[in-house]
Amino acid sequence: MTFQELIAFLGRHPMLSLGLAGLTIALLYTEISRFWQGYKVLKPDGLTALVNRENALVVDIRAQNDFQQGHISGSKNVQPSQFDPENKQLAPAKSLPVVVVCKTGMTAGGAAKRLAKAGFEKVYVLDGGIDGWRSAGLPLVKGR
């Protein structure tokens, strides 16, 4: 396809062209905003490596009942209503990697941003949350 053919196509299909432009802008915005969010997204296998190599703190922000039904071994449960970067479980870990975990990986982003703003140096969110961990076939611990 030549450039002239592309211009002719765009002229014949203005709504399709606007849709493509809108999607392109949305994708670019999403990718660029990741640089300024203050945290990184971590795959389940990356979490395992981070815990083993750097003694990462895993903070599970799900409800206590959900936490007790299954959580990542060694993780600490901090309720969203009590989530504070100066929390006694969190404050000592400012220089350690901290991984925030929720059910699907969507809610954890807000908590991770708060940690980054409070000066935590290495903040991560588990990609897919506990559901992603479970989908990767990794074990969960029941109880407290």
Catalytic residues: 102
105: left (phi over 0), alpha (psi -120 to 50) or beta: left
CB atoms within 10 A of CB 88: 7
| pLDDT in single tens digits along all 144 residues of the chain | 898 998 898 899 999 989 988 999 988 887 776 666 778 999 999 999 999 999 999 999 999 999 999 999 999 998 877 777 777 777 778 889 999 999 998 889 889 988 988 888 899 999 999 999 999 999 999 977
How far apart CA 99 and CA 41 sit, in angstroms, is 9
Q: Considering the entire predicted model, what is its pTM?
A: 0.74
Residue 63: both structure tokens together: 């409800």
